[in-house]
Amino acid sequence: EIPEKQWAQVIEKSGSVEYKQIPVRKPGPDEVLVNIKYTGVCHTDLHALNGDWPLDRKMPLIGGHEGAGVVVAKGDLVGDDIQIGDHAGVKWLHGSCLSCDFCQQADEPLCPKALLSGYTVDGTFQQYCVAKAAHVSRIPKNVPLDGVAPVLCAGITVYKGLKESGARPGQTVAIVGAGGGLGAMALQYAKAMGLRTLAIDTGDDKKDMCLNKLGASAFVDFAKSKDVVKDVMAASPDNLGPHAVLLVAVAEKPFQQAAEYVRPRGTVVCIGLPAGAYLKAPVFSTVVKMISIKGSYVGNRQDGAEAIDFFSRGLINIPIKKAGLSELSDVYDKMKKGEIAGRYVLDTSK
């Protein structure tokens, strides 16, 4: 039975969320209604709460874009490939036109008309979330919904970023911000893809997690290190630097450093989105080291399906901390302080 009212975390004005009861929406013709069981909390949700980016958001807004749940209703135009009772995931990319130049080439995150869950449309911090049928991820029934929730943004994004890095099995990739949600996922996807990893973050909890749970071969503590560039090079093969760098930190400094330690011919992939930050690299060493610097933004539907497949084969295990949907603002407080090793997943029934 679909109730008429549900619990949700609503942003009425920048900076604060309110836990309250709101009506359950009905899906439109091309939409499904997903009973969200679990939702991850991504740092993007905190950027959205605070209005960090030069991109307009809906207001009032329900945030959240790592939702895993059960399809409970569907619109008249939704085909047989999605049935009521199926398990489905709601991702950042809520919808796209499917006919522009980018959509036709499977670059739907670049669609000029893209709709964004928890940003331009209401997201997963509610018990019943409307989603476009064409874009929801299929989740096999044997996959636990709490564990797979963070795959729907963090997992897809770092998996795509690793592909974009061009790093090959046997090579080394540095993960900057390795102790956070995307970073923890990146260490596991990289390992599953046959890459060696070098973790950069701070604190003993994150160090222990990266080295002992997620398979990193070295850890550089950026707050304790006297020279991050030197320490990263020293931890890499032949002291020549990692073949690729994935920047998933929420600070500008590492975006200014990566070109200095990446290996000649190496690739720096920018993923984190610190407010107001700029990239900087010395022209001389960029040229003579033949460095590539690029951005990577979530992933397409196929990247999503592949990322979920890695998870369903048991290759991806990151530490998950659980809380109730009602506790979202406590999770934001911890995230602001950088205290979360891994990812928080919210149970929408609590």
Mutual orientation of helices 301-312 and 154-165 as an angle, nearest 10°?
Answer: 110
Smallest gap, in angstroms, from Cβ of residue 74 to ligand 8ID? 28
Contacts of 71 (CB under 8 A, 6+ apart): 32, 33, 34, 35, 82, 83, 84, 85, 86, 87, 88, 136
CA–CA separation, 130 and 26 (whole Å): 7
Strands 87-90 and 67-74, bridge-based pairing: antiparallel
Q: Does 335 bind Zn ion (CB under 5 A)?
A: no
# chain residues binding Zn ion, by CB under 5 A: 3
Binding to ligand 8ID in span 188-217, by CB under 6 A: 200-202
Q: Does 300 bind ligand 8ID (CB under 6 A)?
A: no
Q: Which is nearer to Zn ion, 123 or 241 (CB)?
A: 123
DSSP state, 109? G
Among 140-148, 153-161, 204-212, 276-284, the segment contacting Zn ion (CB under 5 A): 153-161
Q: Which is nearer to ligand 8ID, 22 or 251 (CB)?
A: 251
Smallest gap, in angstroms, from Cβ of residue 110 to Zn ion? 17
Burial of 125 (0-12, 13-18, 19+ CB in 10 A): buried
Binding Zn ion (rule: CB under 5 A), the pick from 42, 216, 233, 293 is 42
CA–CA separation, 126 and 273 (whole Å): 25
Q: Does 185 bind Zn ion (CB under 5 A)?
A: no
Q: In 160-239, which ranges are E strands?
A: 172-176, 196-201, 218-221
Q: Does 177 bind ligand 8ID (CB under 6 A)?
A: yes
Q: Where are the alpha helices (DSSP H) in 209-300?
A: 228-234, 253-261, 283-288
Binding ligand 8ID (rule: CB under 6 A), the pick from 297, 306, 310, 334 is 297
Smallest gap, in angstroms, from Cβ of residue 333 to ligand 8ID? 12
Q: Does 70 bind ligand 8ID (CB under 6 A)?
A: no
Contact residues: ligand 8ID, CB under 6 A: 42-44, 47, 153, 157, 176-177, 179-183, 200-202, 222, 248-251, 253-254, 271-274, 296-298, 335, 338, 340
